[in-house]
């Protein structure tokens, strides 16, 4: 049976429920695609076809007995190799973790299990989730399905590549400095960094406890909302999670946005945008104008300080997590990883403390500036068209540093702020690679972000195109 590999997650779940195909057939199709394309894209860290097919057969049996598990019953997903599942290797992109088998399962995986999904593969990632390009000295660079000479973005590199290539119907990533949104931008996906505290991080490899976010990468906006719906909510295993009620993210997602107010920050990094990227970003604003939204220019000069503040927190906290490992296994860390961690050991405690202390007042000032007269914020994504793997090789010190800046400077501020922020596909640059913009909302208002993104998706068909790999 032939099944469209680019079927939406929502349509896949509906197809299983209606009997158009079985979970086994869907899982076989994904496993066949993993077998055909996984090595070419270098996106798979590990797969267990026998276990995956057994889970699919069980899902079909439960459905036949009238006992489906949840709203995403029987749909195959795959996840970044930093989400722990008891007894299964989780290497986190590192050779020093290549045999690590956790004794617990991540809350996000528990909740996706409860929604009925199947976890069919572990996906490659940047070593210890520390890098925006997709390079990994140990496992090699993950390749972009739109053009395998180009980067996927990182650190959720395998998640971006696998979902864009139709190897799974969605994936979890993590976002400490853009690691959901950067691969989504590079691979033409929808990627949501939810509000800090919306999703439990229990059982996910920690990098920076002040900045780490768990969230989904999907091919459509509605799919993204479905995945976040499944994983969101308070968790006693993660004391940073909020116990605010989780709304139905699909309720109202199709509503007209006429009269919606969209803030555009004049103090962002727009002057540094590549001309092609700037044109696509401006075109997306024109679409919103045609849909009846009002564009509201706002000022927030502190925006340009947030990259540095984010770096202080992420570098210091990742160095703290890995201080003993760096001391005992220095040579087993990749050059890029240990170099970035080493920088964190040299920030004075007062600098780190100040970065933490400023966070709440800056967030209050940001929300006042952006949302006093607007409902959602629009921002550019990457500064540049998606670069090649060669152009971002970490062995080229100055070149890598410049690539790092251009990939992340528009993206990292939202980790410091902790507000919900989504990457939305915005067409293609002349090199045939995807472009993207960002939408950000008030804390815990993912629903408005989804509604705004969905309106753009309906109007433009921005998620309809897929890479041609066969």
Measured from the Cβ of residue 227, the count of other Cβ atoms closer than 10 Å reads 29
Residues 6+ apart with CB under 8 A from 54: none
Distances from the Cα of 304 to the Cα of 92, 288, 308, 390, 404, angstroms: 31, 25, 8, 29, 16
The residues spanned by each domain of the chain are 126-460
Q: What is the DSSP letter of 207?
A: S
Instruction: Please provide the distance, in angstroms rounded to a whole number, between the alpha carbons at the two ends of the chain.
Output: 17
CA 231, 236, 240: angle at the middle one, nearest 5? 75
DSSP 91-107: -TT-GGGTT---SS--H
At which residue do the structure tokens 């050991």 appear? 345
How far apart (Å, rounded) are the C-alpha atoms in residues 397 and 385? 20
- List residues bridging with 440 in a β-sheet: 377, 421
How far apart (Å, rounded) are the C-alpha atoms in residues 385 and 247? 35
How far apart (Å, rounded) are the C-alpha atoms in residues 86 and 93? 18
At which residue do the structure tokens 């993993």 appear? 34
Q: Which residues of the chain register pLDDT less than 50? A: none
Helix ranges (DSSP H) in 22-99: 23-41, 49-64
| Spatial contact of 215 and 194, defined as CB atoms under 8 Å apart | yes
* Burial letters 62-80, b for 16+ CB under 10 A, else e: bbeeeebbbbbbbbbbbbb
In three state form, how does the secondary structure of 363-414 look?
A: HHHHHHHHHCCCCEEEEECCCCCCCECHHHCCCCHHHHHHHHHHHHCCCCHH
| pLDDT at site 270 | 64
Q: Mind telling me the catalytic residues? A: 80, 155, 179
| Spatial contact of 366 and 317, defined as CB atoms under 8 Å apart | no
| pLDDT tens-place string over residues 275-290 | 999 999 999 999 999 9
| pLDDT at site 393 | 83
CATH of domain 126-460: 3.90.1300.10
| pLDDT at site 267 | 82
Q: Return the SS3 of 119.
A: strand
| pLDDT at site 269 | 65
CA-closest candidate to residue 377, choices 436, 310, 308, 448: 448
pTM more than 0.95: yes
CA dihedral 203, 208, 212, 218 (to 10 degrees): -80
326 — phi, psi (to 5°)? -65, -35
462 — phi, psi (to 5°)? -65, -15
CA-closest candidate to residue 108, choices 246, 235, 225: 235
Beta pairing class for 261-265 and 294-298: parallel
| pLDDT tens-place string over residues 132-187 | 999 999 999 999 999 999 999 999 999 999 999 999 999 999 999 999 999 999 99
């Amino acid at each position: 049976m032939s099944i469209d590999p680019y079927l939406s997650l929502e349509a896949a779940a509906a197809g299983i429920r209606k009997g158009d195909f079985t979970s086994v057939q869907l899982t076989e199709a994904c496993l066949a695609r993993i077998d055909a394309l996984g090595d070419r894209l270098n996106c798979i860290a590990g797969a267990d076809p026998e276990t995956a097919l057994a889970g699919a057969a069980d899902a079909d049996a439960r459905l036949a007995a009238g006992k489906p598990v949840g709203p995403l019953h029987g749909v195959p997903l795959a996840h970044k190799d930093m989400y722990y599942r008891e007894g299964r290797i989780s290497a986190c992109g590192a050779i020093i973790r290549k045999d690590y088998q956790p004794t617990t399962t991540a809350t996000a995986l528990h909740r996706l299990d409860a929604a009925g999904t199947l976890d069919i593969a572990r996906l490659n990632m940047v070593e210890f989730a520390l890098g925006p390009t997709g390079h990994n000295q140990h496992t090699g660079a993950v390749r972009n399905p739109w053009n395998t000479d180009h980067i996927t973005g990182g650190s959720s590199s395998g998640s971006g590549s696998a979902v864009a290539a139709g190897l799974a119907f969605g994936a979890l990533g993590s976002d400490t400095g853009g690691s959901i949104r950067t691969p989504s931008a590079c691979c033409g996906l929808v990627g949501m960094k939810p509000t800090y505290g919306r999703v439990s991080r229990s059982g996910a490899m920690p990098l920076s406890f002040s900045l780490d976010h768990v969230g989904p990468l999907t091919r459509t906006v509605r799919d993204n909302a479905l995945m976040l719906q499944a994983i969101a909510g308070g968790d006693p295993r993660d004391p940073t999670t909020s116990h605010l009620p989780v709304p139905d993210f699909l309720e109202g997602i199709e509503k007209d946005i006429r009269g919606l107010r969209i803030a555009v920050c004049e103090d962002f990094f727009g002057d540094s945008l590549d001309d092609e990227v700037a044109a696509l970003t401006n075109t997306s604003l024109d679409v919103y104008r045609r849909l009846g939204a009002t564009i509201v220019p706002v000022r927030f000069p502190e925006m340009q300080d947030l990259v540095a503040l984010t770096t202080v927190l992420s570098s210091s906290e990742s160095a703290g997590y890995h201080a003993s490992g760096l001391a005992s296994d220095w040579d087993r860390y990749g050059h890029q990883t240990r170099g970035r961690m080493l920088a964190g050991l040299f920030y004075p405690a007062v600098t780190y403390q100040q970065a933490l202390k400023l966070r709440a007042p800056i967030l209050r000032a940001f929300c006042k500036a952006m949302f006093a007269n607007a409902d959602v914020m629009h921002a550019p994504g990457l500064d540049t068209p998606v670069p090649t793997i060669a152009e971002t090789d970490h062995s080229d010190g100055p070149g890598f540093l410049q690539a790092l800046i251009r990939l992340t400077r528009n993206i990292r501020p939202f980790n410091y702020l902790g507000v919900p922020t989504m990457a939305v596909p915005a067409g293609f640059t002349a090199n045939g690679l995807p472009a993207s913009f960002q939408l950000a909302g008030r804390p815990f208002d993912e629903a408005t972000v989804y509604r705004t993104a969905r309106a753009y998706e309906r109007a433009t068909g921005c998620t309809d195109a897929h890479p041609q790999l066969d």
